[in-house]
Amino acid sequence: MKRFDRRDLLRLGALGAFTGHTDLFRSALRAACDAGTRAPSTTASKVLFIFLRGGNDGVSTVIPFGDATYTTARTATAIDPVASHPLRGTGYAKLHPRLGDMLPADAAGHIAWIHQTGMVTGSRSHFSKMQMLETAEERSEDDLAREGFVPRLRAVAAGFESTLPAASVALRMQRMFASADPDRILAHIRSFNDYTLGSDLLADQLRGNLHAHFGDTATNAIDTLERATGRFMIDSEQAIALLRPQHASAPVFDVNPPGLTPSVVGRAFLTDAEQALYLLLHSDCRVAGVDFGGFDTHRDQQAQHSLRMEYLGYCMGQIYAATIGQTALDITTVVITEFGRTAWENASQGTDHGVGALAMVQGVGVRGGVYNCASPQEFGFGSAWTPLTGSNPPPFEDATPVATHVFTLLAELFVKRFGVSPGSQLDTIIPGYSAMSGSLFTPLDYLL
């Protein structure tokens, strides 16, 4: 199927001007996004999601050296404790040696390192757990039409009225942004130079129908487009077109810095993250998301994981430097992954699919510290760390268990950053959340 892209929109723009539909092509962001103009007028909270695809090994990210069983479970994949970085407020865990760029935010108390997060339902399948996380529904059956949580958030929270309320900035549209509802289609930006729309099934079908009938009159073509996507499709293209020249002259940070180990995947991630951050800083976009792949480290984990930590650390450091001085905006960066890795390494010097994972949340409104990772005798946030080689019952055998459900983290984010009310509004975004109970759903209070 032919992709409906920027050139098609420009063609429709000419048709619209010819037929008197020029009002469809006006963007609410025109004044704010024109070259050299002011920052966006909104003071609302914004969120950048970074999804580490493949299952990041949280044990090798914030390393529980205080766990006496760590050196039993990890030999070839063990991290050097001398080269690792001490973290604020704990002597139990240290930070991966390649994440040193994140230390200024940690020292200021602006990062929450949240261990043992995740879900307990379903298999240790990438697709299953990604689907559950990005749709905020813990149902293991495959359902390609299930809506992501960002369109549902947009539907109930205030402040998403702009023409570019949220955007997935990735090679493929992130599932958390996808919707089969034409009125909730969100932007998918492969790059500022290759703007596309979301790739959900209904939207693809509607665009295909539009192309199939492009021989209709201009008025019918415009009407078909408006019925399919509303005004958002055209307006958001205009917003990107206006942002593009401004971004070219003033990027947020350098995506090709000297000194980083060469990596095509790493450079692509930095490019996406920089563009997503630019959208948050210079438009009315409230939520953006990027992907960073390659965390399925079944073999040779030391080299693969260390390389990705190098790029993640640099990126998070640059995000912090670009946002710490912002007084009008509150930007929170949330780093998530579908699951952690096994506690024990395998025969290929790697780790396999686990359960409990590490989440990272960075921003000036974060209650910084290490969560769910301290000895019972050491003061810490959340729960005590569960030893790696303990006799954990299913589904946690040979894996870090879950102490905090990932929906608990999302619920607090939605309530404190977007003003979502507990109860019916929260249940719309996370279906049935108000009925979920137990220790996994104890709030961590990680946001101020």
pLDDT attached to residue 422 = 94
Please report the pLDDT score of residue 33 as a whole number. 29
User: What is the rounded CA–CA span in Å between residue 374 and residue 380?
Assistant: 6
Which band of pLDDT confidence, cut at 50, 70 and 90, is reported for residue 225? low
Q: Concatenate the DSSP letters of all residues of 382-446 into one string.
A: SSPPPPTTS-PPTT-TTB---SEEHHHHHHHHHHHHH-PPTTHHHHHHSTTGGG--SGGG-----
Q: Are strands 111-118 and 404-405 parallel, antiparallel or unpaired?
A: parallel
* Average pLDDT rounded to a whole number, residues 322-330: 78
Q: How many C-beta neighbours within 10 Å does residue 283 have? A: 26
Radius of gyration for the alpha carbons in the chain, expressed in angstroms and rounded: 22
Is residue 229 very low, low, confident or very high in pLDDT (cuts 50, 70, 90)?
A: low
Q: Express each pLDDT in 420-432 by its tens digit.
A: 999 999 999 999 9
- Distance between CA 38 and CA 225 in Å, rounded? 32
Cβ neighbour number for residue 363 with a 10 Å cutoff: 26
pLDDT at residue 20 greater than cutoff 80: no
Tokens of 48: 């950048």
Ramachandran angles phi, psi of 160, nearest 5°: -110, 30
Instruction: For residue 233, name the pLDDT band (cuts at 50, 70, 90).
Output: low
369-392 pLDDT tens trace:
999 999 988 768 999 999 999 878
pTM tops 0.85: yes
Beta-sheet pairing, 369-371 with 287-292:
unpaired
Q: What single-letter DSSP state applies at residue 447?
A: B
Judged by DSSP in three states, 205 sits in: helix
Residue 37: is its pLDDT beyond 70?
no
Alpha carbon of residue 300 to chain centroid: 26
Which element (helix H / strand E) includes 45?
Answer: strand 45-52
Supply the DSSP symbol for 231: T
How far is the C-alpha of 430 from the C-alpha of 411, rounded, in Å?
A: 8
For the stretch 236-278, pLDDT in tens is: 778 888 899 999 999 999 999 999 999 999 999 999 999 999 9
For the chain, what is the mean pLDDT? Answer: 84
- Token pair recorded at residue 322: 């670009």
Which range, of 218-232, 255-269, 278-292, 413-427, averages the lowest pLDDT?
218-232
Angle between helices 201-212 and 218-229 (to 10 degrees): 180
Token match 């009925």: residue? Answer: 435
Contact at 8 Å (CB) between 289 and 49? yes
How many alpha carbons fall within 13 Å on the CB side of residue 332?
A: 26
Distance CA 415, CA 334 (A): 15
